[in-house]
Chains A and B, each alone.
Chain A
């Protein structure tokens, strides 16, 4: 099953408020040097940030296409205001290419057409997956909360490829409220782009100064950087052959090469994690607890992810 040649490596949409030039330079480098098969493009979190990406979008798509990357356009995760609804309708009407739906409202617009499902559309079981597949989904990226046991069940029953996020701070919530704005005593409507200088999000600590979470506008992410590299062989065995890297401000080109090696079984997990840390000095540490059914902030470095511990049995209803 686990043939490395057919395994797919993708680069998720940038979730942080990077300025236009930084985005352009980042994607140009990915286009030229990044060893990924596909690239997701789009502002997923906040419509006020969309101008950053739009500024150089034609250049970026052009360069990525030339670099042999498949482009998928990501929708917003929480389509809230009437303006955002219109923006998404426009995305569906005008985009000449695949769209990744990150909100159910997009699925409605995309039904009957081939499309992808992003990690913000809830798929926890074969029933939901089957339903969405019949509406035209060709690929689905799973919610990072899912433990390996659920991923395996889904993979065995899926008729479309499933993707798992294996690197980057993991998204754990989305809100109609902007927390960057709140941290500065502003409201969302009057945010004055409070998030602007947070390349990897804003660190949130407990009252005892223990770093805890990362805030990115309306989104909350893990504080630890998601890293499932050691679990890749098991995920492959479970039937997962598509892996997503979520961009951080560190060296994503080196990260992609490292994961490619790992997909081919050419590098030891411990060594890979050490290298990964060196590519991302701004990341405080790693987290992979969700995959093990453990608290998500934990980084578990031993033992199989698909341990035989069954899911909790239910009492009779």
Chain B
């Protein structure tokens, strides 16, 4: 790219001649980074306005998604810039202002503060990173009201788009507006464009050399098992009929869908089925900005069914006495829209569903806390459940024994967060915050979470209690109550209940299949679309490899990708291995 193509003056020319179009996404990021580093501060805000206006125009759902954040202010500090960004939302409209951290002082009331390198923010906006994983690895620092941060993350992530993509490619009706608004910024850019180009040219040169090296390496790798698997994912994605056909006999890969965008990502990445919930306390992941409206579900089911996949609706909290109608309505809606299964724990709801929709599959949620074959048999005999989602306390042997006793499908967790408590029988969250999984569909809810950064030490707090402290280089965790560090009387501080780590049962795929498991479930409806895509494609590869007789160890790259997403940066084999108890 030579200097003449990088002209910003002619903003009214066609989009095709607009230089950003010919740039790769990486190149655009690099260009933005340099612009933000070198631009005089007063000139950054106009640039922000352009980007926001462009984004709002291109992503019509933005306003609706951001509206719950009205009146909230978040300060975003890219570490490598002297300037930060104040993001405030009013009437679903984001205002982005460049401001120096010093001038922030006490004048501006903000709800939360985010700090990371510019690169991390770009990755997040591209939808190429998982915010939680970045937080666990300490690449993303968070302060203030976590419910605002979580809601913002879920709103942006739920749009399911690369938010930075084509920010500067302008549709026709928008062009003259951009021309006016962008004029100021463009003049600023012009003044400093030459030094930029020298820098970018050098960098680009290096990047292309690196790319050439990578390409050469990839070329050599062709024919390796990894490559074959990746190709097979692609093939599956292209040929949905194949996947749905094999799914009937093969083991099911069941993925979390926190948002409609995550649903599409999961299906595109090769999930045989997804599970999801409504936007209320009828499901156990009732977090701000997450989940499905009736309309979302309708579209989600359509998307899945067109591709031969299934949708399971989790109505897995306990209906509060006197308010059962909300839960009944959730069941009615799911049934009416053609959901493939309901996931429930409450006997009142199981009873209602089995009477009103006898032909709609009923899956017993882990939230039922059914811990023995006899308990599972109870739900089978009473409510005709078709499938059991196993609580995360069964060992491999027990699963095999169970299958012999109870003639129903078995679904078990293969990856994700793991609770040490018998699920559906834990009120620790209500003890600290007043809100619990059973009644409210939340555990350790974000509005009660506070993070404090004290000289590199991260202190996490839930309600009135300190849940953990993480040293400077230690991987962090969300302050889920049962994954904190505590001091037993007369003992040492430790992860008394459970470490903040992530279940990965990849190595047990073959044993679990042999034990009679028919569905592998990935936990994490509260995680990002990126997480969903990554974990689903990794397990698609692992399951396909297993089907052709290969073990998980034959895919070291896939196992590494999974490790990168693990909470606390650590993995566990959970209760499947003996000695967990």
Contact = CB atoms under 8 A, between A and B. Distances in A.
Nearest to A222: B431
Contacts of B487: 204-207, 209
A208 B466 contact: yes
Contacts of A293: 434
A154 B320 CA distance: 9
B374 interface: yes
A150 B322 contact: yes
B432 A297 contact: yes
A69 to B, nearest CB: 29
B323 A311 contact: yes
Contact of B434 (A109, A150, A182, A296): A296
A145 B581 contact: no
Contact of A122 (B420, B433, B438, B491): B438
Interface in A145-176: 145, 149-150, 153-154, 157, 172-176
Nearest to A123: B347
B430 A145 contact: yes
Contacts of B400: none
B428 A176 contact: no
A252 to B, nearest CB: 23
A123 to B, nearest CB: 8
B321 A157 contact: yes
B426 interface: yes
Interface in B471-487: 482, 484-487
Contacts of A154: 321
A315 B421 contact: no
The majority secondary structure among interface residues of chain B is mixed
Chain B interface bracket (under 10, 10 to 19, 20 to 34, 35 or more): 35 or more
A120 B371 CA distance: 13
Of B330, B368, B375, most A-chain CB atoms within 10 Å: B375
B581 A120 contact: no
Given A295-B434, A317-B329, A127 B324 contact: yes
Nearest to A223: B431
A104 B379 CA distance: 9
A207 B491 CA distance: 12
Given A125-B318, A150-B321, A183-B496, A79 B488 contact: no
A117 to B, nearest CB: 11
Contact of A79 (B374, B465, B489): B374
A125 B278 contact: no
Of B280, B467, B485, most A-chain CB atoms within 10 Å: B280
Given A78-B371, A145-B436, A176-B422, A124 B318 contact: yes
Contacts of A125: 318-324, 346, 348
Interface string A70-87: 000000011110101100
Given A204-B486, A213-B486, A295-B430, A176 B371 contact: yes
B434 A316 contact: no
Contact of A109 (B368, B374, B426, B489): B374
A210 B368 CA distance: 32
A230 to B, nearest CB: 19
Interface string A201-230: 011111111101101000010100000000
A116 to B, nearest CB: 17
Contacts of A207: 466, 468-469, 485-487, 493
A103 B431 contact: no
B319 A189 contact: no
A160 to B, nearest CB: 14
Contacts of A107: 378
B517 interface: no
Contacts of B352: 127
B547 to A, nearest CB: 31
B411 interface: no
Nearest to B394: A176
Contact of B496 (A85, A131, A179): A179
B351 interface: yes
A290 B430 contact: yes
B443 to A, nearest CB: 11
A97 B463 CA distance: 44
Contacts of B486: 204-207, 212-213
Interface string A84-122: 110000000000000000011101110000000000101
Contacts of A188: 581
A314 B433 CA distance: 20
Contacts of A108: 374-375, 377-378, 381
A178 interface: yes
A266 interface: no
A19 B369 CA distance: 30
B282 interface: yes
9 contacts: A84-B372, A125-B319, A127-B352, A174-B425, A213-B428, A290-B430, A297-B431, A311-B320, A314-B281
- Closest 10 interchain pairs by CB? A127-B348, A153-B322, A153-B321, A105-B374, A124-B318, A108-B378, A176-B393, A314-B326, A296-B431, A183-B488
Interface of B: 278-282, 293-294, 318-324, 326, 329-330, 333, 345-349, 351-352, 368-375, 377-379, 381-382, 393, 401, 420-422, 424-428, 430-434, 436, 438-440, 463-469, 482, 484-489, 491, 493-494, 496-498, 575, 579-581
